[in-house]
Each structure stands twice: as C-alpha cells, then as structure tokens.
Structure 1
Amino acid sequence: MNRFRTLYDRLILPHPIIVLSVFGLLLALAAVKFGQFRLDASAESLVLENDRSLEQYRQVNRRFTTSDDFLVVTYSPGCELFSKQGLSRLRSLRDELQGLEAVGSTNSILNVPLLHSPELTLDTVDSEIKTLDGDDVSPETAREALLSNPLYPNLLISEDAGTTAIQVNLPTPDRYFELLRERNTLRDKAEAGNASEAELQQLEAVKASFIRYTETLGEDRDATIRQVRSILDQYRDQAEIHLGGVPMIVADMIRFIENDLSTFGFGVLAFLLLTLAIIFRQWRWVLVPLLCCSFTVWLMVGFLGWAQWPVTVISSNFISLLLIMTLSLTIHLIVRYREFQSDEPEASSRDILLRTVMAMIKPCFYMAITTIVAFGSLTFSGIRPVIDFGWMMTLGLTAAFLITFIIFPALLALLPPPLDKRADSDRVPFTDAFARFTERFGKTVLVGSAVIGVLCAVGVNKLTVENSFIDYFKSSTEIHQGMITIDNRLGGTTPLDVVITDERPPENSATEGDPFASSCDPFVEDCGDAEEYRDTWYTYQKMNRLEKVHRYLDSLPETGKVLSINTTLDILAKVNQGKRLDALELAFVPAAVPDDLKGILLTPYISEEYDQARFSIRILETQPELRRQALLDRIRKHLTTELGYDQDQVLFAGMTVMYNNMLQSLFDSQIKTIGMVFLSIMAMFLLLFRSIKLALIGIAPNLIAAGSVLGLMGWLGIPLDMMTITVAAITVGIAVDDTIHYIHRFKTEFEKDGNYLATMHRCHQSIGQAMFFTSLTIISGFSILVLSNFIPTIYFGLFTGFAMFMALLGALTLLPRLIILIRPFGPGNAL
C-alpha cells in the first residue's frame, strides 16, 4: 500500500492536469477507430466454436442450388386477389421490387409455371407451360391451377387464396464466398501449425478484406431493405403487407440493438445521473461519475474498433454493464469520501482524497478481480460471441478499475467538493433499518433465505433453453406481425433441411452405368435393390422410402410447408392425368422435366453428384410447444428406427440447427458449470479473506442472488436464450461486489470494539449506504430498458434490476446475520 500512496502523493494528486492530458491523448487515439465499431448478427455470430453446422448449411445450399438469402413480402389485398385489379396491383408491386439494383430476381404467382392445361401431359409439358406473366390466363383458371398444385399452397399462396407472397431474392456475390473459402483454408492451415510466415500474413490480410467486404455487403443489404420498405409503404393503403425473411430478421435485430445502444444507452445514463443528482445534490458528484463512465465506454468502443472485434446480439449490453460497474466503483468512492469529509471537516481535500483512495483501492480491487472471474466463466461456453462477451467484460472491468482510481482522484484534485452539511448531521441513515431488522428477526432471515433457496432450486429445474425468434419482438412490431402471417398463411418461418445420403454402389461394379447388363429389367419391375441401380435416386423403392419421410415430416405439428422430390412427383402425377409414375416413368423423370423447370422441380431436392436427397422444411415459430432439440431427436429416431436409414445417412442443416446447437450449448456451458463458477469465487474469497468461514459466508448471498434470478425465470416460464443466459454471470458479479465491500468494511470496523452487533450497525450506516445508492441508481437507470422493442433487452433490464435488489437484500440481511452467527473474526465482545 505504501507504493500506491507514493504514486498518488508524487504523481497523480500533485499533477492532475498532466494525468488528464495524457489520458486525453489515449482517448483521442481510441476515437480514431470509432468508425470501425460494428455490430454483427450474421450466422457466424450464432454458432458454436468449431461447430460444423454453418459449413454444412452452406454446403447443402451449394449442392442443391438453394439459398435463404431472400425477403418474403406477404400481400393480402383489400379486394379480390384473383381479379384484373388485384393482379395488376400485385404486378406493379412486383415490378418495382424487381427493379431494385440488389434484387437478383423475384418469385410470385405471376411468374411461376401454372402447369394447368387440358393438353398438358408428360410429353407436352415443355410446350404447354403457362404463366400469368407470359400467357393469357384468366384469373379463375390461375387460381385453380395454383391451389391444385402441390408446390404453391402455403408457400406462395394461402389456402384461401386471400394472401400471396413475393420472394425477393438477394443473391450473395461470388466475391464473398471466394474470400470466405480463402480465409477458412488459411485459417485451417494456421490452426494445424502448417502455415508459413507468408501465409500467416496473407491470412491477416484476407481476414481484414473479408471483414471490410462483409461490412459493405451488410450496409448495401440494409439499404436495399430500406428501399423495399419504402416501396411497400406506397401499397399499404389497399393491402395488408408484411415483410419477412432471414435477411430482414438479421437487419431488424441489428437495428433494434443499435437503437438500444444509442437511445437507451443515453437514456440509462441520463437516469443514472438524475438519480445521482437526487441522492448527492452536488454537481461534482454527477459530473465525475459521468466522466468516469463515459471514458470507460469510450476506451472500450475504440479498442473494439482497433481490434476489429464485432459486438453481437449477445454482447450488445456490454456498454450498459460497464456503466453499472464503473458507476458502482465511483459511488463507493463518493460515499467514503463524504464519510471522511464529515468525520474531519477541517482536513484538506487532498488528505481526504488520499485517505479515500487508500481505503477503497483494496476492496475495489478484490471486487474487480472476483467479478472478472464471474464473467470469465463465459469464456468456457464454446459459443464464439459468448466467449467474446466474457473477454470484453474482462477488459472492460480492468479499464473501469484503472479509470476510477486514476481519473476520479485527478478530477477531484482539480475540483475539490465542498462539505455536504447533510452528511454531517447526526441522523441515522435509513439503511440501519436493515440492521435493526436483522438483529431482531435473525431466525426469520435464515428461514426466509432457506425457503428462497428451495424455491430457487425448484425454479432452476423448470428452466428450458428453447425460444422462438418471434418471442424476441413485441407484438406491435412489423417483424412479429410478419412472422405470424407467414406461419399461419404461408407455411412457416425458420428453415430446416433434412438431407438423406444414399449408399453408394461398390466402385468396382462391372455393370455400372449399363442397365441392360442386369438380370433385373427396370421397364417391368422395381430394380431398387439391384446393386447396379444404387447410383440413381429415380427408382420405385427409393422414391417410396422418400415419400414415407415426406409424409412423416409433414405430419409433425411443428412443421409447416415441406418440400421434396415427392412434391415434384405429385406435380408430375397430376400432369400424368392423376396417375402415379411407374418404375419406367420414374427412370426418365430427369429427361422429362424441361431444363427451365429443373431449378424448381429437381435440383433443389436431388443431388445425384453427391447421392443426396433434400427435404426443405419451414418450422412454425408460433407453435407454443416448439422444442427444437426434441423435434430433431424425434425426426432422427423415426428415420433411423422406423424407416431404416443409418445414423450417418441423416443430416440436419439450416438456421434451425445452428440456433438450436447454440441454445443447447448454453445449458451445458452455463447451468451445468455454474457450480464451478462458485467454486472459483470461493477460491478467490479464500485468497482475499484467508478464512474458510468467511469464504462460505460470502458465497451464500451470491448463491441466493443468482439462484433467485434463474429460479424466477424458471417459475415464470421464461426460457434461457442467447441473451438471458448471461444474467447468471451478471448476477454473480453484482452480488460479489456487495459481498466483498461489506465483509471488508465489517473487518475494518470490527477491529474498533470487537462487538458484532455494533459493527453491523456501523457498516449499515456507512458501506450499506453506498450499496443502497448503487443499487437504487442502477435499478432506476435500467428501468428505461422496458421501453425497448427487443424483448431480450427488456428482460436484461428487468433481471439486472432484480439481481441488484436480491444482491442488496442478501448483503444487508443474510450476510450480516451469518457473520454474527458464525463469528469468523473471533468470539468478540458480548453481543
């Protein structure tokens, strides 16, 4: 401590202008990269570390020439859709959308093949295809053709023909995939230790190029979505219109988060400062915390820009948390300064400031270290953005501690605050009421804590890790309304692909490619079992098995529209005068389908090059009983046990899989390991207090606080998701702060008279005030988050406030009661 005293005596307190000037240069350096600070809600930001699901998803899209890079415009006109006026207005909207530069193409009821003509047969399908755009087809005929086609209902048109959809395709440029492949190739070599120095340098250059290109692509896509919305606004007077699709969900999530970071970030800060002004009533005690909090956030934003470290949906609240932690540190310093000032009103401001820093640097350092341990648990999650969030908070807490103990004293050295006469009064602080309650109802405190603990345990067991994207947005938002419309009328929202891989024939098959060299005659019988026919999907037996898969998937309550090669065969059966294709006709399906229809009817569902068949499924996000993991397990079990496919023949891909993998990892990495987090904090307490009794006492309110938040979520049926999971670590961090400050102060005060009860009252009147002011300020500030349109942000504000309340309650009741009961500082004097 003598070294710290010397540092403050000789450098910081005598030369505050120099200290602030040097720090100003650091802030200016950080500001240079403010423009590089960015948000990322891409698929890569929602996957597990080393999870192959993203690459499998991209691989499936390449093999089956499909993509989820499209917007869905739902259109429910006020007039009859299938009328000249209705179709004309739909065509006008479609043409405006298709005219946008970034739009590659559009699909709608206007340009898809109707496959409806009296002369239409398998032989004439190429010449008899009609569309509303290219042919003189009456609206009624078109309506009948679309509704009777197995492909379009609940996809492009609702079953009542009252709602239709325009698919607006936003193709991703080839340059993106070129940079992606180059980056991944070099990164794999680097991770394997096989990269040369030149390749490592090339990797850094490619990573930077990929980030820049991704940012440009994101900005262009956001601009396109704004243009689309602007066009849609012109048509809303005569139709109910909603916008959906994966790109729109990503864009809106980023927009909501950006809005929360700016609007609510400043709103939270304003609430915090208003509360400080009401509590302390001196402008210095508002300005100094404001500057310390702002500087901490400023440095971290600049650092993230320099490091090109994106903020994701999960880590987007790190700014709010840094405000909490920095404000907590400054309030403790303010309260202690005012205590010393009240005790010795004649002392110089410099002496009081030095005494304050020396008295608080140790408990605040302990607090910062243990909070870092709590947030450090996030680095073991296996989810890239959660790991990043843990590291961001670790660095942010370090910055908050250093700024508080360097900038706070430097500012007060320049702006010494006058004595607040209210702090000099003999009035007993209201926080002493907690001490009186604890003294009088000690057993009630213990029993009540035990009851809360039991309720917490029951609530934690009720926790689930499922959530729907629709639950992230208020019902008043367009994205929520659009999801409901798409789910209820157009077949579902979230994509899921089920891919079946065929068993390849032996490579040395002598009859490979020669159907006439077999004893089986494919023209009169099913040759699906014959070895030489195992390299084609178009056999009676294989299609029969795929049909069983299709029917099963379509029967599930969680699935909406299901598309596969069986959808195509149903269409061809309709063309074939209602008769199912026989074995011979199946063999000639690839030749019978016109080239311009293969991209619609064949290649999205069959990849003969890779011997795979794909089932495209849309999951109903509005299903209240949606459980993704249970659904995937149920599908896999049915395919492998009931339908006879091997485990390695079944592959799941798509956003549903990646999101589910992340959700399931949350439970494994956080809930199951929370015991290890508390063991780590216990170890920190042992190092700090050097007492097993104090370590056990200190961990109790932390367990109650963390358990209360998680238990409340379980009782209320609020599932853990990519944001609410961090509440556990946040709660532990907050509760640890109060615990450390109280125990450290109790130890200091106990040395005066050795009386546990008297010490408790003094602590409640001193450090208890600081804890109460911190909690009140933060709860007030974070209450503004309930106004957000992003539900996870609302939960974050509510549960952070509740965590602060439970942490305060535990530190002012349970913690002192346990200290009095166990007497970790010795027998003491008579109670």
Structure 2
Amino acid sequence: MRSFYSLYDRLILNHPWRVLILFAVVLVIASLKLHQFRLDASAESLVLENDTALEDYRTVSQRFEASDDFLVVTYKPDGDLFSQPAINTLRNLRDDLAALGPVGSTNSILNVPLLHSPDLGIDTVDEELLTLDQDEVPLDQARDSLLSNPLYPNMLISEDASTTAIQVNLPTPDRYFELVRLRNDLREQARVGELNQQQRQKLQQVSEQFRQLAAELEAEREQTITDVRAILDRYRDNAEIHLGGVPMIASDMIRFIESDLSTFGVGVLIFLLLTLVVIFRSWQWVVVPILCCGFTVWLVAGYLGWMQWPVTVISSNFVSLLLIMTLSLTIHLMVRYREHQQAHPQDDRKQHLRDTLSTMVKPCFYMALTTMVAFGSLTFSGIRPVIDFGWMMTLGLALAFAISFLVFPVLVALLPEPPVRQSRPGSLPLTDAFARITERFGGTVLAGSLALAVLCVVGMSRLSVENSFIDYFKSDTEIHQGMVVIDQKLGGTTPLDIIITDLERPEDAETDPFASDCDPFVEDCEDGDLRDTWFTWQKLDRLEQVHDYLAGLPETGKVLSVTTTLRLLAEINGGEPLNAMEVAFVPAMLPDDLAPILLTPYINEEHHRARINIRLIDSLPDLRRDELLAEIRNHLHGKLGFEQGQLLFTGMTVMYNNMLQSLFDSQIRTLGIVFLAITIMFFVLFRSLKMALIGIAPNLLAAGSVLGLMGWLGIPLDMMTITVAAITVGIAVDDTIHYIHRFRVEFEKDRDYIATMHRCHQSIGRAMSYTTLTIIIGFSILVLSNFLPTIYFGLFTGFAMFMALMGALMLLPRLILLLKPFGPAASH
C-alpha cells in the first residue's frame, strides 16, 4: 500500500498540470459524440427483458391493419355540435390537419358513412350510404344516425353528442416493421449462438438502420405534433379542444425527460452551489466540487453518445443523481482536508492532500463500491429501462470515484489554498445534540427504531402496483386533460386486443355449405377444398358472446369487433339479424371503401385470426389491470370453452401490466441482492460479522421506511419509485461506512465508546449532515416536474436520506455502544 501511495504521489500530486491536460483530452473525446446523446419514450423502452408482448403487438397491428399510431383531437364547441357553424369549424379544422404532410388520413363524423337514406338496405349499401362531407344530410338526422350506429358512439362522438373526435392517422412505413423483424430474428440467432461473422455484421448494420429510421420518425412525429398544436390554438376561442393519442404521449414524455435533464440538472446544480456557499463559505470549496460534478456528468453523457445508448423516462434522473453522488464524495474529502488544516496548520498543502487522500481512500472506495452494488442490483429487475438505469449509474459512480481522487486533488493543488476556518469554541452543532440523545436516551432510540420497523413492515404489506397512467401527469397539463376527455367521453384510453385463433369446424359443418370458402352454388366442392372460415353463424355467435361479455365489464369503454359490423349490417337490414347465407356473403357484400373500416381490422382469414379491440377506462379508481385480465381469461376458458392456445392478449394494456406486475418481484429480488451483497462487503471491510450486522441495520430501516410510507399513503409502486429503495440503500450505506470507519480510528485513541461517539459526531457526523442536506435540497427541486413519478421520486428519496441520517447518527451508534463490537472499553 505504501508503494501505491508513493506512485500516486509521483504521478498525480507532483504533476497536477499534466494530469489536468490529460483529463481535458478525455473530456474533448467524450464531447465528440455528445450530439448523439438522445432520449427515448417509445414502447420498446418500457417493456420487460425478453417480453414478447411488443412483438405480438406489432404483428397484430400489421395483420389487422390496425395501429395506435394516430392522434386524437377532441372538439367540443361552445354551442350545439350539430349546428352549421360548429360543423363548418370542425370541417376547417379537419382540413387543416389533413393538409399536414405526415398525416396519412383522418376520420371524423364528417366522412364516416351514415345510416340515413330510407332506401338503404343490405343489397343497396354500396349506393345509398351518405356522409356529411358528400351529401346534404340534415344535421339533426345526421346526429340521430351517428348515435344509433353501434360503431361511432364512444369513439367518434360522445353519447351526449356534445363532444366529437378527429382521428389523425400517422402511418408508420413498412420499412420500419421490416427492420424490426429482421433485427429481432438476428438477435434471436445471436442469443442461441448461431450467428457467423457476416451475420453479426448484418445485425450491426440492421440495428443502425433501425436506429436512424426510428430517430427520423421520432423527429417527424415531434414536428407534426408541434404543427398540430399550432393549428389547434387557432380554433380554441369558440371550442374546448384537447389533443391525445399514443404518439402525443410519447412526444410529451420526451419533452418531460428533456425538461428533467436540463431544468432539474441545472436547478440541482444551482441548489448545490448555494448549499456549498452557505456551508463552506470559501469560493475554492464551491468551484472544486462543482467542477468535479460537472465532469462526471459530461463523461457519462459522452459515453452514452458514443454507445448510442438512449435515456428513458426512468433513467432521466441520472444527471441529478450523479451530481449528488459526486458531491457526496467530494464533501467528505473537503471536510477531512479542513480537519487536517485545523489539526496541522504547520503542514503544507501537499501534505494536507496526502493525509486526506490516504485516510479517505478506503472508506470512499467502499462507499462507491457499495453504491455501485445497489445500482447494479437494478440490472436483475427484468425491466429493460430499469436495467439500463442500473448500468448507467454503475458506470457513473465508477467515474465519480475516479474523478474525486484524480481531479479533486489536482484542482486543490492548483487553486489558491482555501483559508483555515476554526470552529467557534463552545458551539453546539446539531450532530452533537444527536450524540447526547443517543447517550442519554439509548433505550428510547432502540424502542423507537423497533416500533418504526413494525410500522414499515405493515406499510409494505399494503403496497400495490396498480395505478392510473392518466395520474402520472399533473391535472393542469394538456396530456392529462386530453386523456381524461378521451377516457370519460370517448370510450377509454388504454387499448387491449384479444386475438382468437380460428375455431375448430363445428360438428355439423358438413351440413353447412357456408362453413367453407368454396361456394357450392358455383363450384364442385370436394373435401380437400374445404377450409374453415370465420363467416359461419356458429363461429360468429361465439365471438358475439365474447363481445357482449367484454362490453358488460365496468372497466371497459368501447369494444369493437366483427360483432359491431354485423350489428351495423343488421340495422341496415331493417333491424333483422343476418341469416346464415347473408353472413357467408358479408365479405363480398361490403364495398371496398368500407372493408378497411368494418372488416379487416377484426378478421384475418389468411392467418385464421379474429380481433376484439377494447379500450379500458384508465381513470376508474378501482381499475385492477392484472385482476381484470385474469378474470377475462378465466371466463373465456371456463365459461365460453376457449382453449389456452386459442387466445392471445396484447396491446399497450398488456405491456404496461407486465411491467407493473414485475415490480413486486423485482423489488424483492433487487433489495435482497443489495442487502446480501452489502452485508458481505461489510464483513470483508470490517472483518466482523457482528459489525456487518450492526452496519446493515440502519440501512434496512431507511429502505423500509420509504416503502412503508408509500404503503401507508396508498401510493403505488411505479416505474420510477421502484428504484428509490435500492438508491436509498446505496446512498445510506455511505454514511454507515464513513461513521464506522471513523469510529474504529477514534476508538483506538482512548478506547472510550462514549467519548469516541461524541468525537465522531463532531467530525464525520458533520460531513454526513452536509451531504444529506445537499441531497435533500437537490432532490427537492424535482417537485417542479410535470411527471408525478419524478415528483414522488424526489420526495421519497429526500425522505429516505433523512431517515438514513437519523439511523446513522442515532441507531448505529446506539448499537455500537450496546454491543461493543470493537472490544472492551478501557478501564478508567
């Protein structure tokens, strides 16, 4: 170890300018790819590792020509919707939106067919369907026609006819799906080890092409949404207008990420700067840590750019966390440096640095290592963005430690030495007050900690993961307001698709000539030519049972399927249900321009699939997605007799639910790994199992307190708050390591446990208080976010840090005094 310190002294402390120049070169190299640093709020960034739900979703979208790639513009005029001025305004708005280049088409009450003509019948459907765009339809009759149509209410028009919607379709090019399919196939071959060198190069090429195309589409969508909002602003004077849809949600999520990265990154930096000024009152002790923090963020952002590693909603707080983590390391170094200044004023600056670094390298190394373990444990969560977040922070903490022991001493050596500030005699710092409480009321501290632990366990038993996506956003944001209108007025927000594989032919199929694609009236049908079709009365009757069951659930809004089409045709047929022959001829009966609306989104004969599209009412306070999906499965299997392999549940609801339901398992797994790893590291560091168990106690209490509080307040785990407990342990364990390390050193002076505790509270206790204060202040700025999980993340992390400090300054020393892990005290 002595040779290491000698080498460090020769290479770093004796050549600060050389080190600074080399580090500047590294910063320049990192900055070369900063322009490739990017954000991602796509569905792919929020799925489980190895989850096939996204691939199922894309496959279904292609096969049924049904996609969520559309914007929804809700329009509620100040007066009657079905007045000529309101209709004219709606038409002008629709035309302005349709004129945008990326818009493929629009759907609204203006262009959808109406069941109005008295001559309309099953055999005249092609000639007699009218629209508001093409025909002079009286508006009151158009209103009645739209509301009586089973397709449009709660989709294009509200049931009270006060609100309508324009669906603005933003088609995704086929090239996108081709690249996804090719990339996924190559990834699967790579996973099983079947790729040769040429195929590996092909995978890299395809992945890069997909990334570039996705970036182009993302930029195009963002600009389109900006243009749409500009158009909507021109029409808001006489109507209540909101924007919704999956592309808008993804765009706004990216906007929130950008805001969190820039606004909160700068805000946290300003807060930290002010805190440093107040605490240390020396410009050197402000400049040095701020530069170290900035360098850490710079290098990590540059690395992400070089690796083309996107930042997601979950990892968007990495800037704030890295600033705070790096500052924590540098504050410990600064406080220790000032202690050496005060204790040995005759020594020069280089000696102060040697003493500081030699005494702090071991606790800081274990501090960084345990925090890296805490964040590294997130890689076991099974959630892709949480895994990425864990790796980002692990890398960032390694850089933070390196910068603290390379750049910090160089900057201190080159800047004018900070003045020595002696503590005022007789002052009673807050930390000493905690020491007195611990000494005099030790039993109360233990009893209070035990009671708090019980409350934490009860609170954690009340935790849930069910939450409303709408409630992720503040009520005054457009994304929240638009989703509420769509959810409550237009049939729900969260889509769910149930895909049913072609049923077995009914037993009496040989007596039903329409159970085959072969037309027995014009062809000589043989057994080998027979193939099942969906358009038999028996099969469509079973689909109708599924449709009616789903529509009757309180959690569902609009339900669409081929049943909707048949009921529409029944109305055209004078209210009479179609008979078996008419059912068989439905595909031929529908006009070509209506088939993409009424048929192909729900039936795919080529792949023998039927699709039922449901939208859930996300704002329902009692919505339990996982229970609902299980209930639907059980009913379809148990009551309606569908086999396991005949049903596929997909859509945004399934992907989101899969992620939510994994939170419990991943939380338990993550915390278990963290505490096991840290306990082992404590044992290695302190060479004592008793000391390892003592050290882990306050960390358990800090992590349990934040989860317990969430349970008691009824705040569910989500994609951000899941990380708080692991982060809490990672940061809280820093205080534990520093305190125990200092206690061991101080104890050897007089082997007096009480006196040692007071000295530790007055020295390392101050550094712990400073770091905790800066962390709490830094995270408090996150409450300004529009994204509620970010707000909860900031509040609960700040609370957890406060609890961790209380544990380190009260419970930890009380356990040390009680169990005496450093041996017997000296007799006086």
Q: TM-score range by the shorter chain?
A: over 0.9
2:578 to 570, 573, 581: 581
Structure 1: 5+ residue stretches without partners: 524-529
Could you tell me which residue of structure 2 aligns to residue 794 of structure 1? 791
Which deviates more from structure 2 when the two are superposed, residues 26-35 or residues 589-598?
589-598
Give the deviation of 1:522 after TM superposition.
11
Could you tell me which residue of structure 2 aligns to residue 254 of structure 1? 254
User: Within 2, Cα distance between the matches of 1:496 and 1:830?
Assistant: 74
User: Within 2, Cα distance between the matches of 1:767 and 1:522?
Assistant: 91
Residue deviations 1:444-467 (CA, integer Å, cap 9, x gap): 110100011011101111111122
Give the deviation of 1:662 after TM superposition.
1.0
Could you tell me which residue of structure 2 aligns to residue 71 of structure 1? 71
User: Within 2, Cα distance between the matches of 1:692 and 1:793?
Assistant: 38
**Any residues of structure 2 matched to 1:130-209 within 5 Å, and which?**
130-209=130-209
Q: Are the aligned partners of 1:27 and 1:298 in contact in 2 as well (CA < 8 Å)? A: yes
Amino acid at match of 2:513: P
Q: Are the aligned partners of 2:515 and 2:535 in contact in 1 as well (CA < 8 Å)? A: no
Amino acid at match of 1:799: F
1:615 to 609, 612, 615: 612
User: Within 1, Cα distance between the matches of 2:21 and 2:425?
Assistant: 38
Which deviates more from structure 2 when the two are superposed, residues 315-324 or residues 472-481?
315-324
Which deviates more from structure 2 when the two are superposed, residues 76-85 or residues 227-236?
76-85
Give the deviation of 1:674 after TM superposition.
2.1
Could you tell me which residue of structure 2 aligns to residue 365 of structure 1? 365
Amino acid at match of 1:450: L
User: Within 2, Cα distance between the matches of 1:460 and 1:394?
Assistant: 27
1:345 aligns with 2:342: no
Q: Secondary structure at the match of 1:75?
A: strand
Give the deviation of 1:7 after TM superposition.
2.8
Residue deviations 1:160-196 (CA, integer Å, cap 9, x gap): 1110000000001122122222222222222222212
Which deviates more from structure 2 when the two are superposed, residues 477-486 or residues 340-349?
340-349
Give the deviation of 1:211 after TM superposition.
1.1
Amino acid at match of 1:309: W
Q: Are the aligned partners of 2:342 and 2:422 in contact in 1 as well (CA < 8 Å)? A: no
User: Within 2, Cα distance between the matches of 1:534 and 1:809?
Assistant: 73
Residue deviations 1:508-556 (CA, integer Å, cap 9, x gap): x9999993999xx999xxxxxx999871112222222111111111111
User: Within 2, Cα distance between the matches of 1:480 and 1:329?
Assistant: 40
Could you tell me which residue of structure 1 aligns to residue 501 of structure 2? 501
Instruction: Give the 3 Å change call, closer, same or farther, for CA 61–86 of structure 1 in structure 2.
Output: same
1:549 to 523, 546, 551: 546
Residue deviations 1:610-656 (CA, integer Å, cap 9, x gap): 22111111111111111111111011011000111111111100011
Could you tell me which residue of structure 1 aligns to residue 822 of structure 2? 825
Could you tell me which residue of structure 1 aligns to residue 452 of structure 2? 452
User: Within 2, Cα distance between the matches of 1:362 and 1:629?
Assistant: 47
Q: Secondary structure at the match of 2:495?
A: strand
Give the deviation of 1:815 after TM superposition.
0.3
RMSD: 2.0
Give the deviation of 1:234 after TM superposition.
0.2
Q: Are the aligned partners of 2:45 and 2:385 in contact in 1 as well (CA < 8 Å)? A: yes
User: Within 1, Cα distance between the matches of 2:369 and 2:589?
Assistant: 71
User: Within 1, Cα distance between the matches of 2:224 and 2:630?
Assistant: 38
User: Within 2, Cα distance between the matches of 1:464 and 1:556?
Assistant: 22
Give the deviation of 1:488 after TM superposition.
1.1
User: Within 2, Cα distance between the matches of 1:63 and 1:259?
Assistant: 38
Give the deviation of 1:205 after TM superposition.
1.7
Amino acid at match of 1:787: L
Q: Are the aligned partners of 1:8 and 1:354 in contact in 2 as well (CA < 8 Å)? A: no
**Equivalent residue pairs, number:** 821
1:632 aligns with 2:629: yes
User: Within 1, Cα distance between the matches of 2:321 and 2:575?
Assistant: 64
Q: Are the aligned partners of 1:338 and 1:420 in contact in 2 as well (CA < 8 Å)? A: yes
Amino acid at match of 2:20: L
Could you tell me which residue of structure 2 aligns to residue 681 of structure 1? 678
1:289 aligns with 2:289: yes
Instruction: Give the 3 Å change call, closer, same or farther, for CA 830–593 of structure 1 in structure 2.
Output: farther
Q: Percent identity over the alignment? A: 68
Q: Are the aligned partners of 2:442 and 2:814 in contact in 1 as well (CA < 8 Å)? A: yes
2:763 to 760, 763, 766: 766
Q: Secondary structure at the match of 1:595?
A: coil
Could you tell me which residue of structure 2 aligns to residue 479 of structure 1? 479
Could you tell me which residue of structure 2 aligns to residue 409 of structure 1? 409
Could you tell me which residue of structure 1 aligns to residue 83 of structure 2? 83
Residue deviations 1:200-237 (CA, integer Å, cap 9, x gap): 11211221121122111101110000000000000000
Give the deviation of 1:152 after TM superposition.
0.3
Amino acid at match of 1:757: I
Residue deviations 1:242-299 (CA, integer Å, cap 9, x gap): 0000000111011011011101110011001101100110011111010000000000
User: Within 2, Cα distance between the matches of 1:243 and 1:332?
Assistant: 50
Give the deviation of 1:504 after TM superposition.
4.7
Amino acid at match of 2:347: A
Q: Are the aligned partners of 2:273 and 2:290 in contact in 1 as well (CA < 8 Å)? A: yes
User: Within 2, Cα distance between the matches of 1:201 and 1:475?
Assistant: 48
Instruction: Give the 3 Å change call, closer, same or farther, for CA 607–195 of structure 1 in structure 2.
Output: same
Q: Are the aligned partners of 2:285 and 2:418 in contact in 1 as well (CA < 8 Å)? A: no
Q: Are the aligned partners of 2:381 and 2:669 in contact in 1 as well (CA < 8 Å)? A: no
Instruction: Give the 3 Å change call, closer, same or farther, for CA 536–361 of structure 1 in structure 2.
Output: same
Could you tell me which residue of structure 1 aligns to residue 524 of structure 2? none
1:724 to 718, 721, 726: 721
**Any residues of structure 2 matched to 1:589-738 within 5 Å, and which?**
589-738=586-735
User: Within 2, Cα distance between the matches of 1:580 and 1:3?
Assistant: 92
Q: Secondary structure at the match of 2:543?
A: helix
User: Within 1, Cα distance between the matches of 2:428 and 2:350?
Assistant: 27
Which deviates more from structure 2 when the two are superposed, residues 649-658 or residues 4-13?
4-13
Give the deviation of 1:425 after TM superposition.
4.5
Instruction: Give the 3 Å change call, closer, same or farther, for CA 514–153 of structure 1 in structure 2.
Output: closer
Q: Are the aligned partners of 1:459 and 1:710 in contact in 2 as well (CA < 8 Å)? A: yes
1:224 aligns with 2:224: yes
Give the deviation of 1:29 after TM superposition.
0.4
Q: Are the aligned partners of 2:268 and 2:779 in contact in 1 as well (CA < 8 Å)? A: yes
